[in-house]
A and B are shown apart, each in its own frame.
Chain A
Amino acid sequence: MIGNQPMRLSPNSKSLMMVSPLVAVLFVFLVCPIAMIAIVSFWRATEFSIIPAFVFENYEFLFGSSVTYRVFFNTFKYALITWAATLLIGFTVAYFLAFHIRTLRWQIALFLLCTIPFWTSNIIRMISWIPFLGRNGIANSTLISWGVIDEPLEWLLFSDFAVVLAFVHLYTLFMVVPIFNTMMRIDKSLIEAARDAGANGAQILWNVIIPLTKPGIMIGTIFVVTLVMGDFITVRFMSGSQSANVGRLISNDVALLAYPSASATAVVLLCTVLIVIGILLRFVDIRKEL
């Protein structure tokens, strides 16, 4: 009988065939570009061209400059502040949706309301802060008319405040979604059990819900931290080119066609991000949490 069967692929080769387009895309557009950046980071640059070489001058310059450390510090600062703000807001919103909205229909509707802005353009969402934060913007004129301030505040737009505000505006969703997802999977009887055992609301939140929500918090953290650390456009636009993070360092070099120097910075940034992610991944098994 065996001889009559059509030729069958082993399950392994079937799987490999199925993922081959994925592997091809990731190889050509992820692995090769990273390798390319790593290679070019050792090249030499003149004013008009880049020359294949194997020199460490790009790294020497990078690590020898005080600007680098300031900019890396800034990058971590943005990441940390944004992380804290998005976590606080994201957790509260997810908690409200998961435990205070009673019907699934309303949960889905309100959840979608939170997600829709994510599917629209980030750049336009940044632009849309101009009328609010500008010198004669809504925030300033409202505060003046209330008598809170006499002079318009100068630090609203084109400042670190604006950068962080935009980050929170753009990325809070990345906290809401994973936290909401894990919260929805918490067995409600656990909460009832805690209540029956005499726990009050705060105790339930602290001892039951937060521990069970940790995986969602971790996934949200990974998203927010990497998005903020890799950003260059929000910082450039919202700070009016007055602040810098590592991404801007790279894009400035690119604008000057200083690709080797940009590549060296990119390699250091990538290593930094991967180390941060490596640490975060120790706290969560992503595949189990999907």
Chain B
Amino acid sequence: MEPRSRSFYVLAAFFTLFMLFLYGPTVTIAILSFQGPSGGLTFPMNGVSLHWFRDLFEQQAVGDIWGSFSRSLVLGLMVMVTTVVVSVMGGLAFRRRFPGSNILFYLIITALVIPSILISLGVGLMFSQSGMTVHWATSGFGAQLTWTLPFGLLIMFAVFNRFDSSYEEAARDLGATSWQTIRHVVLPIIAPSLIGVALFGFTLSYDEFARTLLTAGSYNTLPLEIFGMTTNVTTPVLYALGTLTTGFSLIMIGAFLLLTWVSTKRKARAGSDAGKGMV
């Protein structure tokens, strides 16, 4: 191997600084959330304690954190499942042109680039003017899908652009129906990417703020609750909550990445048995 050039070290330093920029603030509030009971929103630390985490478990101190957390969790799972199913179906369909495919494609792009507040406002107005009440599981759910589906679909488009269709042809030649081809050939091959779509679906929903702002109704999701806190909570309890939810996000991300890694490994091991003869 040729030796590293000087530009490598310059760029590596830049990358390290970028990482510090990216993670530094989050790490800081993680440290500050262990502030002593008399500590403030910034350094110095006035002792170390779990005081602010304990505060989170007392309803009157912070409002309905746990209720909003469980709503966000349920909503995240609903959005995740829907995003995966709809994106896979859409991705499969988009492999060939069909009437209206161009319009639909631009609609997907519109959903991606439209300012979130417009979705919030529009869905809210639509519900209120037609006499329906907004609720996180109906209007909130739909509003979030307009954000997660484009991501899911773009991933599926990328996956199918790289998909080797000779596997399908082989399956068809062997007499598989189109459903069997999808179920036993296509889905197992794209499985790792589906986990990626699920990760996007869940995390984007779990953290979504703008599109749920006017569509969640009287029960807040967690990001709405946290934002409400920023205006009236001026103690490190805010950091404690931030640390906990970020920790939860990291666990979910870790789980999804691990799943992707495992399923890629399994695919590689089980992979092709071409040329190994019939067993």
The chain A residues found within 8 Å of chain B, CB to CB, are 11-12, 14-16, 18-19, 21-23, 25-26, 28-34, 36-37, 40, 89, 92-93, 95-97, 100, 102, 110, 112-114, 116-117, 119-125, 127-132, 134, 136-138, 141, 169, 172, 201, 222, 226, 229-233, 237, 247, 250-251, 254, 259, 262-263, 266, 269-270, 273-274, 277, 286-287, 290
User: Is B118's CB under 8 angstroms from A131's CB?
Assistant: no
User: Is B126's CB under 8 angstroms from A119's CB?
Assistant: no
User: Could you name 18 residue pairs across A and B whose Cβ atoms are closer than 8 Å?
Assistant: A11-B98, A15-B96, A18-B90, A21-B85, A21-B89, A26-B108, A30-B119, A33-B118, A40-B125, A92-B11, A114-B18, A120-B203, A120-B207, A120-B253, A121-B207, A131-B43, A169-B25, A254-B121
Q: Which residues of chain A come closer than 8 Å to B213, judged between CB atoms?
A: 251
Q: Which residues of chain B come closer than 8 Å to A40, judged between CB atoms?
A: 125, 129
Q: Which residues of chain A come closer than 8 Å to B119, judged between CB atoms?
A: 29-30, 33
CB of B75, distance to nearest CB on chain A (Å)? 14
User: Is A89's CB under 8 angstroms from B125's CB?
Assistant: no
User: Is B249's CB under 8 angstroms from A120's CB?
Assistant: yes
The CA-CA distance from A145 to B6 in the complex, in Å, is 33
Q: Which residues of chain B come closer than 8 Å to A34, judged between CB atoms?
A: 114, 118, 122
User: Is A232's CB under 8 angstroms from B29's CB?
Assistant: no
Number of A-B contacts (CB under 8 A): 248
User: Is A121's CB under 8 angstroms from B123's CB?
Assistant: no
The CA-CA distance from A40 to B122 in the complex, in Å, is 9
User: Is B125's CB under 8 angstroms from A132's CB?
Assistant: no
Q: With A25-B145, A131-B28 as known contacts, state yes or no: A269 contacts B118, CB within 8 Å.
A: yes
Q: Which residues of chain A come closer than 8 Å to B43, judged between CB atoms?
A: 131, 138, 141
Q: With A26-B108, A128-B29 as known contacts, state yes or no: A290 contacts B118, CB within 8 Å.
A: no
| Residue of B145, B226, B250 with highest tally of chain A CB at under 10 A | B145
